[in-house]
Amino acid sequence: FELQRDGVPRIRIGSMLLDIDTWDLLFGRVRVQQASLARVYVHAERRPDGSLDLGMPDFGADPTSEPGASPLDFSIAGFTLDRARIRFRDGALTSEVVVRRVEMGEYSLARDTQSVPLTWDMRLDGQHLEGDAVLEITGQQVATRGRLATGMLDLGHILQLARLEPGLSGQGSFNGDFAWDGHQLSLNGGVMSPGVTYQVAQRRVELGGLEVPGLELDLVTAPALRVQMRFPRGSRLASLANEIAGHRVSGTGIELTTLLQIEDEWLKNSDTLLHFDAVAWQSGERRVEANGLEITGRFEQSLKGDTLFPATDSAVKADSLHFADGGARIDVALQGVRVQDL
């Protein structure tokens, strides 16, 4: 089967298997015992209103069900998609999904509550996406939980595909468990990134060489944004650069253990252990450099971009500390610095 528009293939199906119980059709029931598609090609384009154009003819408006009408008595014992290529275009933005295999378990339109197993093995723009999940369906509500392993995904490209603000750019991978229910997302697994840049208001943050062996994330998007992340011992960051209003903080060889919370435009850290092999702050001719810096305690930082430094209740120690102000001709070097209550 092939569907073309203006001479361009939009949908192509190499083989299709559909096994329907004909006896049940006599009683108004549709029972699909087996369904599979193989060697599939789809060319999808997003319209300005966000809907997808698959090159299908216009069949007119969808018929509406009468109030109180019973749903179609339809069920499928399982579905398999084998070897598919999906090309997607949104203006100048393009993406490609290559499906090796997708399997879905039993599903019925007539059941109000059901659990549908799903497994997948695919590539998104050359990076692998593998996993399995269970879809928990209750009426019109859908929740899911499962396992996901990815390659190094282009985070900025994904945000653009979702038509979200591109404040984040870089690459990242995840390997672990996930759960999604309406406005809540939970992750628990390993995270790696060679580099990520995040910009909000006047603040720009660059992270390099991120390794988190067991990140715990709970994200709630409505009615208000709430984020809680736990970075376990062993979380590492090769480099950090933070810029705001002419001030720049940079560091290398960073180790982090903390519980981070974002709520009401505030970022809060507790149970924090932060180590820098080297860190520096600079503003104009003023500069502070520290080696072997270790900070323990808790912090609060506004995300509005109106404050440079966080409020803190912490202890600080450093192997060495150097402060210089070229304009004031001040140069101070200290060794073995200890501050118990900062």
What string of DSSP letters covers 298-318? EEEEESSS--SS-EEEEEEEE
d(CA 280, CA 39) in angstroms, rounded, equals: 56
pLDDT (tens digit, 9 = 90+) per residue, 56-103?
876 555 555 555 566 678 999 999 999 999 999 999 999 999 999 999
Instruction: Summarize the confidence of residues 43-54 as an average pLDDT.
Output: 89
Q: What is the 3-state secondary structure (H, E, C) of 181-197?
A: ECCEEEEEEEEEEEEEE
d(CA 317, CA 293) in angstroms, rounded, equals: 6
More confident residue, 65 or 15: 15
Q: What is the pLDDT of residue 203?
A: 77
Q: What is the pLDDT of residue 60?
A: 56
Q: What is the pLDDT of residue 302?
A: 84
Instruction: Summarize the confidence of residues 30-44 as an average pLDDT.
Output: 95
What is the SS3 assignment for 66? coil
Could you tell me which of 210, 135, 139, 140 has the C-alpha nearest to residue 171? 210
Average of per-residue pLDDT values in the chain? 91
* pLDDT for 165 beyond 80: no
Question: How many C-beta neighbours within 10 Å does residue 133 have?
Answer: 19
Instruction: Summarize the confidence of residues 22-27 as an average pLDDT.
Output: 85
Q: What is the pLDDT of residue 25?
A: 85
